[in-house]
Amino acid sequence: MAGADIATADSLQYIYRPVTSGSLHIEVRAPSNAHISLTSANHETEPMYEILLGGWENTASTIRYNRQKPDKVHDSCYTVLCQVEQKKFSHCLTRFIKT
């Protein structure tokens, strides 16, 4: 479903849309804590990558595999998200790789 606008409540309830390859372009307007789930099904399943943008009060971002810690990637940043302006993010999807 290319170009679909999806608005979500402030919760960890994911809305799943199929994206199996190519690029995923996301625009986020939120003060913090944007969660993106990448999975091979239209529901939570393994393997699953979870991307958290602007976590820890908008001071860090992380990537987790199957909701497990330690994080695969953790990057401290300052104000990656904004409550009044949409921020754009792109992810290139080739295939799911277990690491």
Domain ranges of the chain: 22-93
Task: Tell me the mean pLDDT per 10 residues along the chain, length 99.
Answer: 67 75 80 87 86 93 91 89 89 54
Q: Which two tokens stand for residue 32?
A: 């913090």
Task: Assess contact for 72 and 99: CB atoms under 8 A.
Answer: yes
Instruction: State the pLDDT at residue 93.
Output: 66
Instruction: State the pLDDT at residue 43.
Output: 84
Task: Assess contact for 86 and 26: CB atoms under 8 A.
Answer: no
- Cα–Cα distance for residue pair 17/38, rounded to 1 Å: 10
| pTM, two decimal places | 0.79
In sequence order, the 6+-apart residues with CB closer than 8 A to the CB of 74 are 60, 61, 62
Instruction: State the pLDDT at residue 1.
Output: 43
